[in-house]
């Protein structure tokens, strides 16, 4: 009797940012900002932090390493930032400002009153009450790293949350929440004016010009990489603050990229007039950030696969590929409900919603194969069934390799986590590789709980093993510990 050898499939983790920030340099008079380095040392253990104490040291710093400079108002005002840029080609300059006017004013007005603010690539708001530096600094460094990667590695496939708001106080408040939701699955790009946003989305296409980057390549827009637009409606267009800026931007995005969900973050009455163009999120309302989390999970592909009708009513929900397959089986039926589901799924295919969800859950190759699909009716269902069935088969044969140790299931993952030293495990947690593999395996709830965790040493190892142990018991109780065939 001949034994059949089962061929393993390779798991290729998706790495959003190929370049990691390596240095964080603080030059600030404020002690609380300087002390916020401890947050980075805990949450971004690979990052080397340094505090500089005089302008000469700051101006003398020179490195080709990816770096973020963090200033307070006094520190930035003391320096010639062009000297800093000239000696640090891969650096992003961040202002953590205590000035109330800078926190709430459009960039043109802030630069006119406080010229030093124009020297920063990014501006964040900090204070002594709600926006403590230690709570803001991690998001500030993440945005800086995202910007560095987006600008330096433009030809890579990306997943970007595009935020348009001219007031640093607002996005400083909610970016830590957003990063806790998205983990390492997507980048964030913040722009503060209509023109900045257009340039980011469309490159120079809107102006009919061809601008090249530092390597002589024509710059392209990133609209095709955006998975969600979060925008105010009042921000500068030209030299004026006007609601037409937000209205025009939303309509442009809806016209050119209809798959992109839009969140309108505003309490202005004009925002309600645009509710048919996007989800209105009143700034500062109780529970608004929780509403933001729910919307992002439901409509950007980050959470469950959600089938909803034209009125936004939920029709079906799937946590993983197996449950999507069950929806396809329903849509295959020759009855009224089956026909209704087929029509909804056709619209999903046209708007790239299948591939978006697959990308967000680490099915990169499958997302490419299904992007976009214009098939209709039973032909669409058959096509999806074919590709998902192949992926289900691949999942069972795809191990997670941790420092040479292979794990094919949750029990194997738990054994590897217990056996390996903490320093070996840390990079897999930092880069979302463990969660990405769990998503591929269909354990989306466990992947979600592991996603925001960063740290180092025995404490990180204990946290990871405790969470995997808990969910292994839950899945076994639910009967989901073993692969199940759907077709």
CA distance 170 to 295: 18
Which of helix, strand or coil describes residue 428?
Answer: helix
Provide the phi-psi class of 320: left if phi over 0, else alpha when psi is between -120 and 50, else beta.
Answer: beta
Both tokens of 42, joined, read 């805990």
- Of 157, 282, 179, 163, nearest to 229 by C-alpha is 163
Residue with tokens 């609601």: 243
Same domain, 408 and 349: no
**End of a domain among 253, 268, 302?**
302
Which stretches of 351-376 are DSSP H helices?
353-360, 364-369
> What CATH number is attached to the domain comprising 246?
3.40.50.2300
pTM score of the predicted model: 0.85
Phi/psi region, residue 352 (left: phi>0; alpha: psi -120 to 50; beta: rest), is left
CB contact set of 388 (below 8 Å; sequence gap of 6+) = 321, 324, 325, 328, 366
Q: Worst-scoring range by mean pLDDT, 13-27, 198-212, 234-248?
A: 198-212
- How far is residue 287's CA from residue 68's CA, in Å, rounded to a whole number? 33
Tokens 């980057």 locate to: 213
Between vectors from CA 120 to CA 117 and to CA 121, what angle results, nearest 5°? 140
Query: pLDDT digit string (tens) for 279-297?
Result: 887 777 777 777 888 888 8
Q: Is residue 3 part of a domain?
A: no
Same domain for 290 and 309, yes or no, is: no
Q: How confident is the model at residue 480 (pLDDT cuts 50, 70, 90)?
A: low
Would 145 be classed as within a structural domain? no
Report angle CA 150, 101, 112 to the nearest 5 degrees. Answer: 75
Q: What is the DSSP string of 448-477?
A: HHHTT----HHHHHHHHHHHHHHHHHHHHH
Look at residue 15 in the predicted model and tell me its pLDDT.
75
Q: Are residues 201 and 126 in the same domain?
A: no
Compute the C-alpha angle 192/193/197, nearest 5°: 90
pLDDT 10s digits, 333-377: 999 999 999 989 888 887 778 888 888 887 877 887 887 666 777
Block residue for tokens 């960039």: 107
Per the domain annotation, does 231 fall within a domain? yes
Kindly state whether residue 108 falls inside one of the protein's structural domains.
yes
Task: Quote the Cα angle for 126-132-136, to 5°.
Answer: 75
Last residue of a domain, one of 396, 411, 432: 396
Alpha-carbon distance of 79 to 397, in angstroms, equals 56
pLDDT over threshold 80, residue 117: yes
Mean of pLDDT values over 164-177:
92
Q: Which two tokens stand for residue 60?
A: 């003398």
The verdict on 346 and 323 lying in the same domain is yes
Interatomic CA distance for residues 288 and 265, integer angstroms: 10
CA-wise closest residue to 133 among 29, 37, 69 = 37
Contact 234, 242 (CB under 8 A): yes
For the stretch 210-232, pLDDT in tens is: 444 444 444 578 998 898 999 99
In a domain, 441, yes or no: yes
Distance (Å, whole) CA 138 – CA 24: 11
| Four-point Cα dihedral 254, 226, 140, 156, nearest 10 | -160
Q: Is 485 left (phi over 0), alpha (psi -120 to 50) or beta?
A: beta
pLDDT at 215: 44
Domain-embedded: residue 1: no
Helix (H) or strand (E) segment spanning residue 412: helix 410-419
| Burial class of residue 428, CB neighbours in 10 A (0-12, 13-18, 19+) | buried
Whether 136 and 164 map to the same domain: the answer is: no
**Same domain flag for 174 and 287:** yes
147 within domain boundaries: no
Answer yes or no: do 180 and 268 share one domain.
yes
Per the structure, the count of domains in the chain is 4
pLDDT tens sequence across 388-401: 988 888 888 899 99
Domain containing 361 equals 305-396
pLDDT band at 303 (very low <50, low <70, confident <90, very high): confident
- Among 372, 396, 420, the domain boundary falls at 396
DSSP labels for 185-249? S-EEEEE-SHHHHHHHHHBTGGGT---B-TTSPBPB--GGGEEEEEE-S-EEETTEEEHHHHHHH
Using pLDDT thresholds of 50, 70 and 90, give the confidence band for residue 123.
very high
State whether 107 and 178 are in the same domain: no
94, β-bridge pairs: 70, 122
In a domain, 471, yes or no: yes
Report CA-CA distances (Å) from 208 to 212, 216, 224, 252, 424: 13, 18, 18, 16, 50
Indicate whether 236 and 295 sit together in one domain: yes
- The strand pairing partners of 95, in sequence order, are 71, 123
Kindly state the percentage of the chain with pLDDT values over 90: 47
Same domain? For 18 and 124 the reply is yes
Q: Which residues lie closer than 8 Å to 162 by C-beta, 6 or more apart?
A: 189, 191, 197, 200, 201, 222, 226, 228, 229, 230, 231
What's the rounded Cα separation, in Å, for the pair 230 and 265? 7
> How much of the chain is in helix, strand and coil states, percent to nearest 5?
50, 15, 35
Q: How many CB atoms lie within 10 A of CB 282?
A: 16
Query: How many beta carbons lie within 10 A of that of residue 147, not counting itself?
Result: 19
Q: How many C-beta atoms surround the C-beta of residue 21 within 10 A?
A: 25
Torsion sign, CA atoms 198, 297, 349, 484: positive
Shared domain for 221 and 271, answered yes or no, is: yes
Kindly state whether residues 132 and 199 are assigned to the same domain.
Answer: no
């Amino acid at each position: 009797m001949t034994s059949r050898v089962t061929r393993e499939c390779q798991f290729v983790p998706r790495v959003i940012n190929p370049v990691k920030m390596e240095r964080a340099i603080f030059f600030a008079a404020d002690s609380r900002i300087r002390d916020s380095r401890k947050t980075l040392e805990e949450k971004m253990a690979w990052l080397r932090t340094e505090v500089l104490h005089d302008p000469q040291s700051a101006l003398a710093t020179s490195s080709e390493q990816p770096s973020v400079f963090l200033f307070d108002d006094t520190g930035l005002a003391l320096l010639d930032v062009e000297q800093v840029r000239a000696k640090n080609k891969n650096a992003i300059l961040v202002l953590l400002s205590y000035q109330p006017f800078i926190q709430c004013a459009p960039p043109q007005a802030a630069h006119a009153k406080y010229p030093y603010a124009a020297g920063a690539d990014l501006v964040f708001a900090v204070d002594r009450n709600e926006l403590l530096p230690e709570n803001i600094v991690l998001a500030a460094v993440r945005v800086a790293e995202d910007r560095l990667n987006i600008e330096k590695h433009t030809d890579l496939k990306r997943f970007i949350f595009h935020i348009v708001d001219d007031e640093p106080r607002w996005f400083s408040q909610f970016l830590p929440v957003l990063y806790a939701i998205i983990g390492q699955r997507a980048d964030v790009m913040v722009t503060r004016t209509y023109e900045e946003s257009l340039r980011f989305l469309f490159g120079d296409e809107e102006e009919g010009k061809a601008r090249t980057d530092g390597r002589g390549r024509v710059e392209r827009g990133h609209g095709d990489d955006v998975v969600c637009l979060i925008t105010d409606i009042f921000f500068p267009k030209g030299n004026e603050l006007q609601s037409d800026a937000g209205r025009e931007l939303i309509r442009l995005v809806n016209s050119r990229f209809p798959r992109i969900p839009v969140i309108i973050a505003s309490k202005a009455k004009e925002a309600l007039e645009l509710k048919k163009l996007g989800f209105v999120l009143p700034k500062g309302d109780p529970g608004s950030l929780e509403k933001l989390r729910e919307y992002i999970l439901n409509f950007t592909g980050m959470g469950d696969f959600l089938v909803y009708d034209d009125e936004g009513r939920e029709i079906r929900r799937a946590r993983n590929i197996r449950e999507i397959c069950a929806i396809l089986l329903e849509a295959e039926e020759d009855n009224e409900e089956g026909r209704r589901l087929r029509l909804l799924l056709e619209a999903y295919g046209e708007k790239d919603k299948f591939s978006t969800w697959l990308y967000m859950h680490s099915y990169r190759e499958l997302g490419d194969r299904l992007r976009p699909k214009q098939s209709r009716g039973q032909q669409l269902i058959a096509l999806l069934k074919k590709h998902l069935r192949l992926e289900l088969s691949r999942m069972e044969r795809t191990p997670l390799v941790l420092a040479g140790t292979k794990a094919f299931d949750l029990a194997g993952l738990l054994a590897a986590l217990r056996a390996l030293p903490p320093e070996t495990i840390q990079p897999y947690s930092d880069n979302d590789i463990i969660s990405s593999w769990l998503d591929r395996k269909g354990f989306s709830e466990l992947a979600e709980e592991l996603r925001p965790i960063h740290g180092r040493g025995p404490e990180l190892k204990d946290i990871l093993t405790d969470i995997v142990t808990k969910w292994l018991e839950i899945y076994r109780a639910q009967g989901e510990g073993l692969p199940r065939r759907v077709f």
